[in-house]
C-alpha cells in the first residue's frame, strides 16, 4: 500500500461547514464596496488612490513582518490585512499625502497587529490604531477635508471644508447660538447620501447601511453591536438634547454625522476586538455610544468614534468574563 | 514667583505625606519571612521546572526549611553540589544522589515501524493517544509528535528528523522528569546515567506477544528470554511479554546486548575499541 | 396527535445546533441481509461499563444466540454468539476505540440457531409476561442502547429510588448526516417497534410514550402514526431538522421543554425522562416476543463514491471489509472510513475492525474531503459559542487544554460538553476544538471520579 492509500484517522467531526476566515474577510470587503464607490464619487480618484495605497502597504507590511522578522508562514491570503487597509483608508481624508497613508498602515499592521501575534491576538482594532496614530502625529493633515466634488473643479488641496461635527465644535467654542450653527449644516438628505465633508468611507450612511445589511444577511456580523451603539448615541444625546435643546444638537444629527455608521457596522463589529456573547455585545455597543457622545460634547475632539471604540476594545476581556453564556441545565 | 513657591511647597507636601503613608502601610502589612528562604533560593538554579515535586524554586526553598526529613529533598537540576550548599545554609547533612538521565524506551523509528495510517489533526501526542493506537499501529510505542520536547525546559531534547524519535542531549538533561510526565505512553524513564554515561536498557515497552509486536515494529522486544537467561546478575525480569533491565542491578556486562535478536536492547556510550573486552574496561573505570 | 397534521408546529431545542447537508443516499434502499463472514470477531466490550466475562473456551462449538460472555458487574451486558461454528480463540483485536480489546473469534460453520429462538416473520402482538420476566429477558438478551452510546438497557429501565418517570421518549431522530438505519427500521419494522415500545411502557409502568422524529423523514412519521393510532398512549412528535437533536439532552429539551441537569451526575431521569432508541425498541420486541438475543443490527453503509449505498442487517463481529466487499468494494478514492455518522463517528484505522452493538453506520469519505484544512489563529468570531447547543465556550476550552490548565478548564465546566462537534464544524479557522475538548473532558471526568472515590473510601 503506498502512502496515498493509507486511511486517514482524526477526531470527529469529519465534516466542516465550509466557511473560512478568508471567506469572511472577502464578504467584509464586498460589503465595503458601496461606501468606497460613494467615496470615489464624492472625492474623486484620489480616494481610490489612497485606498489602494493603504491596502497594498498593509498587505506588504504583513507579508514582510511575518516572513523576515517573525519567521512564520505569512497569512496574507486570509485577506485580513486587506480589510484593515480598506478600513484605514476609509478613516482618512482624501487629500492626505500618500506617505502618511503608508505610515498609518505601518502602525496598523506592525504595531497594532503583528506585535501581539497576528490575526486574532490584537486587543485593539488595527485600522483604528493606524488612524489615531496619524491623527496625533499629523493633526493638520488629518483634519482638513476637501469639499465634496472639489476634484471636478480642480485643486483638491485648496478647497477644504469642515465636517459637520467640526463646524459644531467650532461654533460651540465661539459661543454661537445652536440655531446659527445648524444653519451651516448640510441637509439630512445630503448627510444620508453622503454629500458632505469627511473621511473617504464615513460619509454615506446609505452605502454603509447597504453593506451592513449584506453582512447581516451573510451572518458575518450580528445586529447587537450596531444597534446598541446607535441606540446608545440616540438615547444619551437625546437626554442631553431634552435637557437643553438650545445648547445640544439633536440625536439624529449625532448619528448621521461623523463615523458613527462606519464605526458601528464595520469597526466595532470587528470579531477579534469585540465581545463574543450577545449580552456582551450589547454592553459593548451601548458603552461605545455613550463614550462617543461624551467625547463629542465634552471632549476636545469634534469626533470620538475611533477613541470610543479603542477604549472599549480594552474592556473586551473584562466584558467576556462577566457575560458568559448560560450553560444548559444549570 | 509666588506661583513657583506655592507649587514647590504643594508638591513637597504631597511627597512627604505619601512617603509617610507608604511607610506606615509597609510597616503594618509587613510579612515576616524566614531570611533563609531567600538565601536558599539564591543557590537554587531558579529554573522553576518542578523537577523536585514543588511548583517552583521558592516553594522548594520553603519546603526545605520546613521539612523534618531533609534527606528526601533533592533538586535534580542543581544536583549534589547545589544541595550541599542548601544543606550548609540550613546546617544539615545533604543527601548524595547519583546522576540520572531521561531514557527513551522506544526504537520504533520510521525505518523500524512502517506507517499504517495518516493522523490528521493537531500535532500533539496527547491527542493521538486519546484517539487511537497511532500511525504505526503500535499501541505502546512513541507517537513521534514531540510532547516531550515541548515539555523540556532545558533544551535538552530534540526530534530526530530521520528516525522521527526524540533524542535526549545528555549533557543538558537535568533529570527533572518533565518529559516523563508529558509522555502519554509512559515511554520515557529516568535511569542511572552510569559511569561516563555508559548504560544498557531495553528500548521497547510493547506488552504484546512477540509475533504480534513484530508485525508493527522490527525492533520490538519479543520477550524471547535470551537476555534473561544470559544475565549473570539477575538484573533482567520478563513480565507481560516484555524484558526490563533493572539499572540498580545491571553491571554493564553487555551480554544481553549481544544476544538480543531484535536489537531491542541498546547500549550507549561504550567506547568502540573496548567492545571485545567490555568487562576489563568497566573495572578500570 | 396520532395523525400527522401539516399544521402541527415542529418542535426543536432553542439554542445552538447546526444543519449539515444530509446526504441520505441510502434512505430508499430497504434493509438486506448479507452473506455470513468466514470469521467473526466479537469484542467483549461492546457496551458502556465493565467488560463481559467470556464463558466459552477455544474449541467449543457454539450456535447462533448462545451466550459467549456474561455481564460482569452492574453496568455490563451479556454477549451472544452471532454465528454458529467453533470458537477459534479469545485474543486481542483492534476495535473502534483504535486500541486492541479482547474478543472472541469464532469460525462460521453453517447457520444453526438455538432452538428456542423464533425466526418466523409473523408479528406477535400479545405479551402476557410480568414486568420482572420482561426485565430479565431484556437483561439476558444483552440489549444496549443502539443509538451509539451503548448504555445497557436493563440498567436504564431500573428507575432509581426517589425518581419518577413522566415521559418515555423514543428516539427516532437520526440527526447525523448519511445514516438511515433507524429510518429504514421505522419504515419496515414499524409495528414491531410499536410493540417493543408497548413492552417498555409495561416495564416502566407508564401509559404514555412519545416518539420524536425529524421532519426530513415524512414517510417514517406517517407510517408510525398510522400504526400508533391502533395503540393508545403512543404519540408521534415531528421535530425540526436540527443537529444534534438526537442527543439525549437536546431531545428532552425539544419534546418536554425541560433541561437535564449537567453531567457527570445529571441524567434524563432527573427530569422524569427515559430515552430509548427505535432500534433498541425493535431489539426489545425481538428479545421478549421471539426470544432472540442481540446478535445482529441494521448498519448503513454509505458514502459519496460508494457504488451501492445500502442498509444491511449485519451479524455483530462481522468485519468492515466483509461488509464493504458486499456493496461493491472499497472506492479507489477512499480517504477515511467512519464508524457512525460524520459528526460524532470514529475514524477507523483498519478495515479489520468488527461491527459492534453501537455501530449504526459505516461512512466512506473520499480522499479530497477527508483532509482537514489548515489551522489558523482563533479570530474570536464567537461561532463556536453561538452554535454550541449547551451554552459552552469551546474557544476557551481549547486554549486551556492546549496549555494544560485542566483545573481551570474544570472551573469553566469543560465536562458539560456532549462532543457533538458543532464548534469544530463551524470554526472558520478550522481549529480542532472538539479534539482538545474531548481530551480535556476525559481528564476532568477522571479527576472528578478520583476525588469521588477518595472521598468515599
The x, y and z cell numbers of residue B144, run together, are: 513521534
Is B117 in Cβ contact with A10 (below 8 Å)?
no
Is B127 in Cβ contact with A9 (below 8 Å)?
no
Which band of pLDDT confidence, cut at 50, 70 and 90, is reported for residue A175? confident
Query: Which residues does chain C have within 8 Å of residue B131's beta carbon, measured at their own beta carbons?
Result: 98, 435
Is B115 in Cβ contact with A9 (below 8 Å)?
no
Grouping H, G, I as helix, E, B as strand and the rest as coil, residue A134 is helix
Strands (E), C27-94: 31-33, 39-43, 53-54, 61-62, 67-70, 79-80, 85-94
Residue that is last in its domain, among B90, B123, B155: B90
Residue that is last in its domain, among B188, B209, B243: B188
CB-based contacts of C369, cutoff 8 Å, min separation 6? C304, C335
Distance from CA of C245 to the nearest CA of B (A): 25
Q: What is the CATH number of the domain that holds C187?
A: 3.40.50.11540
Write the pLDDT tens digit of every residue in A124-137: 999 999 999 999 99
Query: Which residues does chain C have within 8 Å of residue B133's beta carbon, measured at their own beta carbons?
Result: 94, 98-100, 349
Residue that is last in its domain, among C272, C290, C308: C290
Shared-domain flag, residues C401 and C266:
no
List, in sequence order, every residue forming a beta bridge with C67; answer none if it has no partner.
C80
Shared-domain flag, residues B214 and B249:
yes
Is C371 in Cβ contact with B120 (below 8 Å)?
yes
Grouping H, G, I as helix, E, B as strand and the rest as coil, residue A122 is coil
Is C424 in Cβ contact with A16 (below 8 Å)?
yes
The domain in which residue B242 lies consists of 194-285
Distance from CA of C175 to the nearest CA of A (A): 14
User: Is residue B165 packed enough to be buried (19+ CB in 10 Å), middle (13-18) or exposed (0-12)?
Assistant: buried
List, in sequence order, every residue forming a beta bridge with C69; answer none if it has no partner.
C54, C79
Q: Which residue has the higher pLDDT, C3 or B36?
A: B36
Residues A115/A124, Cβ–Cβ less than 8 Å? no
Query: Which residues does chain A have within 8 Å of residue C269's beta carbon, measured at their own beta carbons?
Result: none
CA torsion angle B204 B209 B215 B219 (round to 10): 20
* Partner-chain residue, chosen from C262, C340, C380, that has the shortest CB–CB distance to A276: C380
Shared-domain flag, residues C139 and C270:
yes
Query: Which residues does chain B have within 8 Å of residue C99's beta carbon, measured at their own beta carbons?
Result: 132-133, 139
Buried b / exposed e over B91-100, threshold 16 CB at 10 Å, is eeebeeeeeb
Strand duo C100-108 + C79-80: pairing: unpaired
Residue that is last in its domain, among C260, C275, C290: C290
For residue B282, the model assigns a pLDDT of: 46
For residue A4, the model assigns a pLDDT of: 57
Q: What is the CATH number of the domain that holds B140?
A: 3.30.70.20
> Which of B55, B114, B116, B121 is best to mutate for the C interface (most C CBs within 10 A)?
B121
Domain ranges across chain A: 21-142, 162-322
Evaluate whether residue B65 is within a structural domain: yes
* Partner-chain residue, chosen from C370, C380, C381, that has the shortest CB–CB distance to A8: C370
CA C132 to chain centre: 26
Q: Which chains touch C (3 or more CB pairs under 8 A)?
A: A, B
Evaluate whether residue B7 is within a structural domain: no
Element (H, E) at A37: helix A21-43
Evaluate whether residue B18 is within a structural domain: no
Answer yes or no: is pLDDT of A210 > 80. yes
Grouping H, G, I as helix, E, B as strand and the rest as coil, residue C137 is helix
Evaluate whether residue B24 is within a structural domain: no
Smallest Cα–Cα separation from C383: which of B106, B2, A21, A56?
A21
Alpha-carbon span B222 to B215, nearest angstrom: 11
Shared-domain flag, residues C277 and C393:
no
- Count Cβ–Cβ pairs < 8 Å, chain A vs chain C: 149
Is A8 in Cβ contact with B120 (below 8 Å)?
yes
Alpha-carbon span C267 to C290, nearest angstrom: 31
CA torsion angle B193 B194 B195 B201 (round to 10): -120
Alpha-carbon span A79 to A248, nearest angstrom: 42
Query: Which residues does chain A have within 8 Å of residue B115's beta carbon, measured at their own beta carbons?
Result: 3, 6
Mean pLDDT over all residues of chain A? 90
Distance from CA of A104 to the nearest CA of C (A): 23
Residue that is last in its domain, among C290, C324, C340: C290
Alpha-carbon span C421 to C409, nearest angstrom: 18
Question: In this structure, what DSSP letter does residue C9 have?
Answer: P
* Partner-chain residue, chosen from C100, C372, C432, that has the shortest CB–CB distance to B139: C100
Smallest Cα–Cα separation from B266: which of B106, B51, B112?
B106
C273 touches chain A (CB under 8 A): no
Distance from CA of B211 to the nearest CA of C (A): 13
The x, y and z cell numbers of residue A88, run together, are: 484605514
Smallest Cα–Cα separation from A222: which of A283, A267, A265, A286?
A265
Distance from CA of A8 to the nearest CA of B (A): 5
Question: In this structure, what DSSP letter does residue A114 have?
Answer: G
Query: Which residues does chain B have within 8 Å of residue A7's beta carbon, measured at their own beta carbons?
Result: 117-118
Shared-domain flag, residues B213 and B267:
yes
Residue in the block written with cell 471632549 = A299
Query: Which residues does chain C have within 8 Å of residue A78's beta carbon, measured at their own beta carbons?
Result: 376
Grouping H, G, I as helix, E, B as strand and the rest as coil, residue C378 is coil
Distance from CA of A122 to the nearest CA of B (A): 23
Is A13 in Cβ contact with C338 (below 8 Å)?
no
List, in sequence order, every residue forming a beta bridge with B224; answer none if it has no partner.
none
Write the pLDDT tens digit of every residue in B211-257: 888 888 999 999 999 999 999 999 999 999 999 999 888 988 888 99
Smallest Cα–Cα separation from C40: which of C290, C457, C354?
C354
Evaluate whether residue B177 is within a structural domain: yes
Number of domains into which chain B is organized: 3
B7 phi/psi in degrees, rounded to 5? -60, -50
Alpha-carbon span C273 to C270, nearest angstrom: 7
Alpha-carbon span C98 to B207, nearest angstrom: 17
Residues B139/B63, Cβ–Cβ less than 8 Å? no
CA C418 to chain centre: 14
User: Is residue C425 packed enough to be buried (19+ CB in 10 Å), middle (13-18) or exposed (0-12)?
Assistant: buried
Question: In this structure, what DSSP letter does residue C270 have?
Answer: G
Number of domains into which chain C is organized: 2
Shared-domain flag, residues B151 and B128:
yes
Evaluate whether residue B6 is within a structural domain: no
Shared-domain flag, residues B145 and B199:
no
The domain in which residue C425 lies consists of 383-456
pLDDT in tens, chain C (457 residues): 444 444 457 889 998 999 999 999 999 999 999 999 999 999 999 999 899 999 999 999 999 999 999 998 889 999 999 999 999 999 989 888 888 999 999 999 999 999 999 988 889 888 889 999 999 999 999 999 998 889 999 999 999 988 999 999 999 999 999 999 999 999 999 999 999 999 999 999 999 999 999 999 999 999 999 999 999 999 999 999 999 999 999 999 999 999 999 988 889 999 999 999 999 999 999 999 999 999 999 999 999 988 889 999 999 999 999 999 888 888 888 889 999 999 999 999 989 999 999 999 999 999 888 888 889 999 999 999 999 999 999 999 999 999 889 999 999 999 999 999 999 999 999 999 999 999 999 999 999 999 999 888 7
* Partner-chain residue, chosen from B122, B132, B139, that has the shortest CB–CB distance to C435: B122
Alpha-carbon span A191 to A250, nearest angstrom: 14
ipTM at complex level: 0.89
For residue A158, the model assigns a pLDDT of: 54
For residue B86, the model assigns a pLDDT of: 85
Is C435 in Cβ contact with B121 (below 8 Å)?
yes
Instruction: For Cα atoms A181, A186, A191, give the angle at the middle one, nearest 5 degrees.
Output: 125
Is C375 in Cβ contact with B131 (below 8 Å)?
no
Residues A315/A288, Cβ–Cβ less than 8 Å? no
For residue A155, the model assigns a pLDDT of: 54
List, in sequence order, every residue forming a beta bridge with A51; answer none if it has no partner.
none
Query: Which residues does chain B have within 8 Å of residue A3's beta carbon, measured at their own beta carbons?
Result: 115, 118
Is A3 in Cβ contact with B120 (below 8 Å)?
no
What is the pTM assigned to this prediction? 0.88
Amino acid at each position: 500500500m503506498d502512502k496515498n492509500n493509507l486511511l486517514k484517522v482524526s477526531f470527529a467531526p469529519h465534516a466542516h461547514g465550509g466557511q473560512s476566515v478568508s471567506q469572511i474577510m472577502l464578504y467584509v470587503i464586498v460589503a465595503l464596496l458601496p461606501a468606497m464607490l460613494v467615496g470615489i464619487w464624492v472625492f474623486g480618484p484620489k480616494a481610490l488612490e489612497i485606498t489602494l495605497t493603504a491596502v497594498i502597504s498593509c498587505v506588504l507590511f504583513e507579508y514582510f513582518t511575518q516572513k523576515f522578522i517573525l519567521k512564520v508562514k505569512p497569512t496574507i491570503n486570509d485577506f485580513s490585512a486587506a480589510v484593515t487597509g480598506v478600513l484605514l483608508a476609509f478613516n482618512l481624508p482624501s487629500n492626505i499625502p500618500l506617505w502618511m497613508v503608508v505610515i498609518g498602515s505601518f502602525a496598523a499592521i506592525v504595531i497594532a497587529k503583528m506585535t501581539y501575534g497576528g490575526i486574532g491576538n490584537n486587543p485593539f482594532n488595527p485600522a483604528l490604531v493606524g488612524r489615531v496614530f496619524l491623527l496625533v502625529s499629523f493633526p493638520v493633515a488629518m483634519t482638513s477635508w476637501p469639499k465634496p466634488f472639489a476634484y471636478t473643479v480642480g485643486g483638491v488641496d485648496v478647497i477644504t471644508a469642515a465636517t459637520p461635527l467640526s463646524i459644531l465644535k467650532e461654533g460651540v467654542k465661539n459661543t454661537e447660538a445652536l440655531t446659527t450653527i445648524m444653519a451651516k449644516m448640510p441637509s439630512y438628505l445630503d448627510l444620508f447620501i453622503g454629500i458632505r465633508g469627511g473621511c473617504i468611507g464615513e460619509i454615506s450612511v446609505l452605502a454603509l447601511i447597504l453593506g451592513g445589511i449584506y453582512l447581516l444577511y451573510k451572518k458575518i456580523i450580528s445586529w447587537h453591536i450596531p444597534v446598541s451603539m446607535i441606540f446608545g448615541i440616540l438615547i444619551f444625546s437625546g437626554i442631553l438634547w431634552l435637557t437643553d435643546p438650545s445648547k445640544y444638537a439633536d440625536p439624529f444629527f449625532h448619528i448621521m454625522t461623523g463615523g458613527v455608521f462606519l464605526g458601528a457596522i464595520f469597526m466595532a463589529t470587528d470579531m477579534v476586538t469585540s465581545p463574543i456573547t450577545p449580552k456582551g455585545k450589547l454592553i459593548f455597543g451601548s458603552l461605545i455610544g455613550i463614550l462617543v457622545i461624551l467625547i463629542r460634547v465634552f471632549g476636545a475632539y469634534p469626533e470620538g468614534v475611533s477613541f470610543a471604540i479603542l477604549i472599549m476594545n480594552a474592556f473586551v476581556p473584562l466584558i467576556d468574563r462577566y457575560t458568559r453564556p448560560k450553560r444548559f441545565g444549570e | 514667583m509666588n506661583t513657583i513657591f506655592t507649587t514647590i511647597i504643594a508638591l513637597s507636601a504631597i511627597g512627604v505625606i505619601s512617603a509617610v503613608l507608604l511607610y506606615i502601610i509597609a510597616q503594618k502589612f509587613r510579612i515576616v519571612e524566614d531570611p533563609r528562604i531567600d538565601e536558599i533560593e539564591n543557590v537554587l538554579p531558579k529554573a522553576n521546572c518542578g523537577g523536585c515535586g514543588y511548583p517552583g524554586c521558592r516553594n522548594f526553598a520553603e519546603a526545605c526549611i520546613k521539612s523534618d526529613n531533609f534527606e528526601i529533598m533533592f533538586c535534580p537540576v542543581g544536583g549534589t553540589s547545589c544541595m550541599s550548599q542548601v544543606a550548609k545554609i540550613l546546617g544539615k547533612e545533604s543527601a548524595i544522589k547519583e546522576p540520572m538521565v531521561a531514557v527513551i524506551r522506544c526504537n520504533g523509528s520510521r525505518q523500524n515501524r512502517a506507517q499504517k495510517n495518516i493522523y490528521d489533526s493537531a500535532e500533539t501526542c496527547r491527542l493521538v493517544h486519546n484517539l487511537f493506537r497511532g500511525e504505526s499501529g503500535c499501541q505502546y510505542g512513541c507517537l513521534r509528535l514531540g510532547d516531550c520536547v515541548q515539555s523540556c525546559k532545558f533544551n535538552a531534547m530534540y526530534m530526530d528528523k530521520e528516525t522521527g524519535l526524540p533524542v535526549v542531549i545528555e549533557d543538558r538533561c537535568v533529570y527533572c522528569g518533565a518529559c516523563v510526565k508529558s509522555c502519554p505512553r509512559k515511554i520515557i524513564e529516568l535511569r542511572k546515567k552510569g559511569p561516563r554515561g555508559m548504560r544498557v536498557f531495553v528500548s521497547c515497552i510493547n506488552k504484546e506477544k512477540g509475533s504480534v509486536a513484530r508485525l508493527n515494529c522490527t525492533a520490538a522486544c519479543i520477550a524471547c528470554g535470551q537476555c534473561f537467561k544470559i544475565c549473570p546478575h539477575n538484573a533482567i525480569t520478563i513480565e507481560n511479554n516484555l524484558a526490563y533491565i533493572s539499572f540498580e542491578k545491571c553491571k554493564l556486562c553487555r551480554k544481553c546486548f549481544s544476544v538480543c535478536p531484535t536489537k531491542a536492547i541498546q547500549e550507549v556510550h561504550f567506547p568502540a575499541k573496548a567492545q571485545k573486552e567490555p568487562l576489563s574496561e568497566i573495572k578500570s573505570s | 396527535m396520532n395523525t400527522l397534521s401539516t399544521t402541527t408546529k415542529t418542535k426543536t431545542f432553542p439554542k445552538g445546533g447546526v444543519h449539515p447537508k444530509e446526504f441520505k443516499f441510502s434512505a430508499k434502499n430497504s434493509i438486506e441481509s448479507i452473506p455470513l463472514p468466514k470469521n467473526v470477531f466479537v469484542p467483549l466490550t461492546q457496551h458502556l461499563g465493565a467488560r463481559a466475562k467470556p464463558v466459552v473456551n477455544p474449541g467449543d462449538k457454539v450456535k447462533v444466540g448462545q451466550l459467549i460472555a456474561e455481564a460482569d458487574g452492574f453496568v455490563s451486558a451479556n454477549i451472544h454468539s452471532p454465528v454458529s461454528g467453533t470458537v477459534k480463540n479469545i485474543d486481542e483485536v483492534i476495535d473502534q476505540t483504535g486500541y486492541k480489546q479482547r474478543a472472541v473469534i469464532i469460525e462460521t460453520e453453517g447457520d444453526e440457531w438455538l432452538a428456542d429462538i423464533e425466526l418466523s416473520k409473523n408479528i406477535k402482538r400479545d405479551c402476557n409476561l410480568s414486568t420482572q420476566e420482561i426485565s430479565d429477558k431484556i437483561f439476558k438478551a444483552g440489549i444496549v442502547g443502539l443509538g451509539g452510546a451503548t448504555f445497557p438497557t436493563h440498567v436504564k429501565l431500573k428507575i432509581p429510588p426517589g425518581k419518577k418517570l413522566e415521559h418515555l421518549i423514543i428516539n427516532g431522530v437520526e440527526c447525523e448526516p448519511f445514516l438511515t438505519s433507524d429510518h429504514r427500521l421505522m419504515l419496515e419494522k414499524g409495528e414491531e417497534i410499536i410493540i417493543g415500545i408497548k413492552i417498555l411502557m409495561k416495564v416502566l409502568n407508564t401509559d404514555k410514550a412519545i416518539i420524536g422524529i425529524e421532519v426530513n423523514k415524512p414517510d417514517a412519521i406517517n407510517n408510525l402514526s398510522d400504526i400508533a393510532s391502533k395503540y393508545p398512549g403512543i404519540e408521534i412528535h415531528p421535530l425540526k431538522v436540527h443537529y444534534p437533536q438526537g442527543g439525549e439532552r437536546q431531545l428532552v429539551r425539544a419534546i418536554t421543554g425541560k433541561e437535564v441537569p449537567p453531567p457527570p451526575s445529571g441524567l434524563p431521569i432527573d427530569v422524569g425522562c427515559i430515552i430509548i432508541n427505535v432500534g433498541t425498541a425493535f431489539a426489545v420486541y425481538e428479545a421478549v416476543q421471539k426470544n432472540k438475543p442481540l446478535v445482529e443490527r441494521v448498519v448503513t453503509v454509505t458514502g459519496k463514491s460508494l457504488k451501492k449505498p445500502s442498509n444491511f442487517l449485519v451479524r455483530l463481529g462481522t468485519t468492515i471489509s466483509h461488509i464493504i466487499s458486499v456493496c461493491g468494494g472499497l472506492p479507489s478514492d477512499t480517504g477515511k472510513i467512519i464508524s457512525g455518522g460524520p459528526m460524532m463517528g470514529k475514524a477507523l484505522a483498519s478495515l479489520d475492525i468488527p461491527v459492534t452493538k453501537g455501530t449504526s453506520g459505516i461512512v466512506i469519505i473520499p480522499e479530497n474531503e477527508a483532509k482537514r484544512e489548515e489551522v489558523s489563529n482563533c479570530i474570536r468570531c464567537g461561532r463556536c459559542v453561538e452554535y454550541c447547543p449547551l451554552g459552552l465556550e469551546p474557544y476557551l476550552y481549547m486554549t486551556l487544554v492546549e496549555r494544560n490548565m485542566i483545573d481551570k478548564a474544570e472551573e469553566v465546566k469543560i465536562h458539560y460538553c456532549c462532543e457533538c462537534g458543532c464548534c469544530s464544524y463551524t470554526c472558520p479557522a478550522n481549529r480542532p476544538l472538539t479534539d482538545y475538548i474531548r481530551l480535556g473532558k476525559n481528564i476532568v471526568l477522571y479527576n472528578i471520579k478520583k476525588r469521588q472515590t477518595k472521598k468515599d473510601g
